[in-house]
Amino acid sequence: MYPGKLGVYREALRHSSSLEIKGQKSEPLIFDNERLEFLGDAVLDSSIAHLLFLRFPYKDEGFLTEMRTRIVNREQLGNLASRLGLTDLMDIHSDLRRNRAALKNIGGNALEALIGALFIDKGYAVADRFVRERLVDQYLDVEKLMETTVSYKAILLKWIQKNKMTFEFQLQPDPDKPDLKNVSLWVDGAVWFTERNANRKKAEELCCEKAVRKLDLPTH
């Protein structure tokens, strides 16, 4: 398969640090990869969700959500980008190449941008095949990921304590479905997420899982 729109791939591998002109009010003629990263993130989520839906036909929504998070979390994407050698191909400021932690995050973002570029150039089917065959089948052991146990509440609590914030769960009754628990996660006095589940602890864990994903916290 040959690329059709070379410019969009160049954009996917162009970090914002490489742009010399910044802060202009007018639209720049050359874009970094952040817009493609936004698009690629959505394509990646959809592709992984579909893959898991087909691979685990008898698993519930909580399991599928957790597995998707284990696959697309920031640390995992950084590892995949490193194995693909993406940062070696990127247009990036030379100072950042000496920062391994930054490179890992930059690489994960570039991988999402590359998926976005594939979507624009070749369509969803090709981007989806790249995710399934080039990333998941070649580099990830999904069965091994299933065996690992992740406590999203513990991960979130560690982050909240580090940042000196407060959090709590609030339970609201549902008159239409009294057998289900509506649980809201509050952080520093603001509602972050609300989940509904027959099991209160499961609802709390699902809220924390979404928060961990929102914050791009490592789960390994």
DSSP state of 28: P
Judgement on whether residues 168 and 104 belong to the same structural domain of the protein: no
Tell me which of 115, 131, 147 is where a domain ends.
147
Could you give the dihedral angle defined by the CA atoms of residues 83, 88, 90 and 94, in that order, rounded to the nearest 10 degrees?
130
Provide mean pLDDT across the span 64-75: 80
Instruction: Please say if 95 is a catalytic residue.
Output: no
Q: Can you give the pTM of this predicted structure? A: 0.68
Q: Which of 32, 66, 112, 121 is labelled catalytic? A: 112
Q: Is 1 contained in some domain?
A: no
Q: Indicate the number of domains in the chain.
A: 2
Does 66 participate in catalysis according to the annotation? no
Same domain, 180 and 79: no
Q: Which of 33-42, 140-149, 184-193 has the lowest mean pLDDT?
A: 140-149
Reported confidence tier of residue 25, pLDDT bands at 50, 70, 90: very low
pLDDT averaged over every residue in the chain: 84
The pLDDT-based confidence of 48 (bands split at 50, 70, 90) is very high
Domain containing residue 203? 152-215
